[in-house]
Amino acid sequence: MVGGHPALDLVNTVERGESALQGDPRDYLSGPSALLIWARRAGLADDAEAEAAAGAWERDPGLAQAALAAVRETRESLHIALLAAAGLAPVEAAAARVAFDRLHGRWLAAAGRSLLAPDPDGVAAARLVVGIAPAWLVPDRAVEAAVDLLRAPEVARMRRCPTDEGGCGWVFLDRSRNGSRRWCRMADCGTAVKSRRLTERRRAARISS
């Protein structure tokens, strides 16, 4: 959970670095149960909602697989849309358009399963309650988070852990005061890359001596 937003944490549930290009990337959303664990950690579902979703999936395993596929499609479409919007990697215009269209379709389906209700806090006249259908709660809230991020000015602060320098390729919001954050986490990729560079310098020094 390094993204700073649930939608970015969703994008980061699969390996994105150079090692992922050499074989099948590790997908942390390996099945419906893993999806529910992630949804709770990301704050998209509380314990009671996760239990309701699990119950709906147990009664109809086909819905569990459909929900997982929907979340994965949202994840990949969002990844492409964000890279294109933030200019972090070359993305063909046609691919970006397909990604936005898929997100739009997922959002329309989620909105159709949502409820317009009075705002209990009185901040507004009404609020849109997304995720009232237990079997589709996680996919619907995942695409809600994706649309929320894409519409937010904060997307301009999005960065990508630099794969050309040995980073993992995960994305995150740079909320540092001077906008200088480079790594997903300094304790992970930043430290690993610095340690590798130090080892390489020492090896080169021994060879040249």
In this predicted model, what pLDDT tens digit does every residue of 193-205 receive, in sequence order?
A: 555 543 444 455 4
Average pLDDT over residues 176-186: 81
Task: Please report, for the domain that includes residue 79, its CATH number.
Answer: 1.10.3300
In a domain, 187, yes or no: no
Tokens encoding 137: 């709660």
7 Cβ contact partners less than 8 Å away, ≥ 6 residues apart:
78, 142, 145, 146, 148, 149, 150
Average pLDDT over residues 80-103: 92
In this predicted model, what pLDDT tens digit does every residue of 63-82 receive, in sequence order?
A: 999 999 999 999 999 999 99
What pTM did the predictor assign?
Answer: 0.85
In a domain, 166, yes or no: no
In this predicted model, what pLDDT tens digit does every residue of 4-51 receive, in sequence order?
A: 999 999 999 999 876 666 677 899 999 999 999 999 999 999 999 999
Domains identified in the chain, total number = 1
In a domain, 173, yes or no: no
The range of the structural domain enclosing residue 112 comes to 6-155
